[in-house]
Amino acid sequence: MSRTAITKYDRVERHVVGAGAERDATAAWLGLGGPGPLAPPPPAPPPRHAAAGVRVPHLDDCVVLPPGTYPVGEAGDERSVSLQGVRIGRHPVANAHWRAFAEATGRPRTAAAAAPVLADHPVAGVTYDDAVAFCAWAGTRLQARVRLPTAEEWEAVARGPAGHRWPWGDTFDPERCNCAEAGWGATVPVGAHPHGASALGAEQLAGNVWEWVAGLHDDGWARVRGGCHLDTAWGVRAARALPADPARATPTTGFRIAVDPDPGGSS
């Protein structure tokens, strides 16, 4: 193993070991929890933020979740679900998109949405109802039925047919997402980690910002998925779901869109 790889895994070990049961479990997955050689890391991606300047993806840049059966659920609660085909946003909704929505509807802009340098960062600080309202507005722009993805759709596009622990596979790599181990400490552009994409091509499904998914539960709370830049490897697993107050806008919660197929046959 190269000195660079050893240094990276030493850094993850220092962060993980001794931080509680969940992080101990993460350490074990990484091969850091006991004696023996470290598991080899996945192929190293190119340097982070290789693209220069602010690059905002198109609002309708989506990946296809094909109709089929997908594994979902935490360990001990695994199950298979049958899903209809749907298009899911390749990236979370960006600040530039939110700014256009706010200007068109009179809704307040978030502070980040007003900053040009953050135009390609994920919007955050929005409530569940804010996200639903954005989807309704986006539907008029795209002339399609736009909504939040369901929890099962979100997990299926993140884990893929193989049911990976993280979008890119079953070996954690902090270079493929914006998480605590990566050390950024804030949001990064939505296109910053193309090598962290899922098998279906969706990006930023681990870390950066939590994402609202559709539906309120019997307790009146919504759910968010994906973890944020403050979460460790365990926290950004694709199967993890966190209850969230739908009326609370936090600086670590955003969302992405889902676009239903055209009933007439086009997508």
> What are the pLDDT digits (tens) for 206-242?
999 999 999 999 999 999 999 999 999 999 999 999 9
- 3-state secondary structure at position 142: helix
Report domain extents, the chain. Answer: 1-41, 56-259
How far is 241 from 166, CA to CA, in rounded Å?
Answer: 13
- What are the tokens at 163? 């049911």
Q: What are phi and psi of 12, to 5 degrees?
A: -65, -40
Instruction: Count how many residues are written for the chain.
Output: 267
Report the run of H or E that residue 146 belongs to, with start and end. strand 146-147
pLDDT of residue 29: 41
pLDDT of residue 190: 98
pLDDT of residue 117: 95
How far is 85 from 87, CA to CA, in rounded Å?
Answer: 7
DSSP state of 212: E
Helices marked H in 115-211: 128-142, 151-159
Of residues 18 and 168, more confidence is placed in: 168
Its pTM stands at 0.80
| Crossing angle (nearest 10°) for helices 128-142 and 95-105 | 80
Those residues with Cβ within 8 angstroms of residue 194's Cβ, 6 or more apart along the chain or in another chain: 45, 203
Beta bridge partners of 122: 94
> How far is residue 80 from each of residues 65, 153, 260, measured CA to CA in Å?
15, 12, 21
pLDDT of residue 195: 97
pLDDT at position 19 over 90: no
Q: What are phi and psi of 109, to 5 degrees?
A: -85, 145
pLDDT of residue 172: 98
Beta bridge partners of 77: none
Q: Radius of gyration (Cα) for the chain, nearest Å?
A: 18
- What are the tokens at 260? 């239903």
> What are the pLDDT digits (tens) for 141-185?
999 999 999 999 999 999 999 999 999 999 999 999 999 999 999
How far is 31 from 171, CA to CA, in rounded Å?
Answer: 10
Q: What are phi and psi of 225, to 5 degrees?
A: -130, 160
Q: What is the CATH number of domain 56-259?
A: 3.90.1580.10
- What are the tokens at 110? 């978030």
> What are the pLDDT digits (tens) for 110-128?
889 889 999 999 999 999 9
How far is 132 from 53, CA to CA, in rounded Å?
Answer: 30
Chain-centre distance of CA 142, in angstroms?
A: 22
